[in-house]
Structure 1
Amino acid sequence: MARIGIFFGTDTGRTRLIAKQIAKKLGDAADAPVNIGRVTLADFLAYDALIVGSPTLGDGELPGQSVGLNQPSWEEFLPQLADTDLSGKTIAIFGLGDQKKYPDEFVDAIGLLHDAFEDAGARMIGRWPSVGYEFKASKALDGDEFFGLALDQHLQPVLTEERIDTWLAQIKPELLP
């Protein structure tokens, strides 16, 4: 097994594509990305270093069946963490959002995932500057940084690869000590 696990939730497939792009850039250091709706808690806990990703849906929600997805996703997976100790796990988050269409909930999923994993004791890494984005509010924001890599595939797709490369250069030493 590789040393980094990559898990994602998705509704349109864009987050899956980003997860695959990240895995390709990490090469042998990461296993193939897996949809979080298709794993057990044990599968997730098998890794000490994880990269997780999610789009933000609707009014700042995680993907899941209550927002119309046909399969389970982050909404269904996160409650399993209620009695789980993630100490010793290092987690970095990436999230997709649309600054123009959802300026009041831009990449909220990053914040929701961050809070769930941090509350369970994980060491969170991979903060990303908010400079270069135009939005009104985000649960993913702490001061002038996001809790993870924010991507807008609708308005800024040409910036995605450079952002991923810069972010991976930042987090890789912490994921692979």
Structure 2
Amino acid sequence: MATALFFASSTGNTEEVANKIAKSLGDIKIYNICDSDVNDILNYDKIILGTSTWGEGELQDDWDEIWEEFCSLDFSNKTVALFGLGDQDGYGDEFCDALGIMYEQVKKANANIIGFTSTDGYEYEYSKAQIGDEFAGLVIDEDNQDDLTDERIASWIEKIKNKIL
């Protein structure tokens, strides 16, 4: 079963995190969604999706542009892990909301979603990415906690690698 990572990045932070994840997992295919056809996602059984949150809790622009097509995809029989970037200090009332938006869509599209992470260690007011006492995937705050990024990625990789590779 093939694994691929799809991401979109405005400032380069999501791309950097995507590359770290891909490197940690070894030989997986990585796609910047702005240079890909959204239907390429369907060529893989195991998928990692990454986004950052912009504006007032919105999807990153490249995801937003293809969102209607993305919403038409069927994720049945697909294993999906999600990661998102946000700024808990500057945007604490919509922290990583794009991750939550993506989670709701792949859940509705019948994906087997893996890789939930604890909300411990973050300080924010609200997040659509919070499901109970966990986030819907790996959450990274490069603006305020970049010193924790590598540790958070490594911990998440250990949690998902047997299910995503």
TM-score by length of 1: 0.89
Between 40-49 and 125-134, the greater mean CA deviation after superposition: 40-49
SS in 2 for 1:133: coil
User: What does residue 26 of structure 2 align with?
Assistant: 27
Q: Hey, what's the Cα distance between the residues in 2 that align with 1:22 and 1:110?
A: 16
User: What does residue 38 of structure 2 align with?
Assistant: 41
Between 113-122 and 76-85, the greater mean CA deviation after superposition: 76-85
Q: Which amino acid in 2 is paired with 1:90?
A: T
Matched, 1:121 2:110: yes
Matched, 1:136 2:125: yes
Structure 1 residues 14 and 82, CA gap change in structure 2 (3 angstroms): closer
Percent identity (aligned): 44
Aligned-pair CA distance for 1:76: 2.1
- Which structure dedicates a bigger proportion of its chain to strand? 2
Contact 2:83-2:137 at 8 Å conserved across structures: yes
Aligned-pair CA distance for 1:102: 0.2
Q: Which amino acid in 1 is paired with 2:6?
A: F
State the Cα deviation string for residues 135-176 of structure 1 (Å, max 9, x = none): 000000011100011110011111110110010110111112
Q: Which amino acid in 2 is paired with 1:110?
A: L
Aligned-pair CA distance for 1:42: 2.9
- Aligned-residue Cα RMSD (Å) equals 1.2
RCO (CA 8 Å, sep 6+): is it higher in 1 or 2? 2
User: What does residue 162 of structure 1 align with?
Assistant: 151
User: What does residue 57 of structure 1 align with?
Assistant: 54
Report matched runs for 1:59-98 at 5 Å. Answer: 59-64=56-61, 73-98=62-87
Report matched runs for 1:101-112 at 5 Å. Answer: 101-112=90-101
Contact 2:52-2:85 at 8 Å conserved across structures: yes
Q: Hey, what's the Cα distance between the residues in 1 that align with 2:74 and 2:50?
A: 20
Contact 2:103-2:136 at 8 Å conserved across structures: yes
SS in 2 for 1:56: strand
Matched pairs, number: 165
Structure 1: state its 5+ residue gaps: 65-72
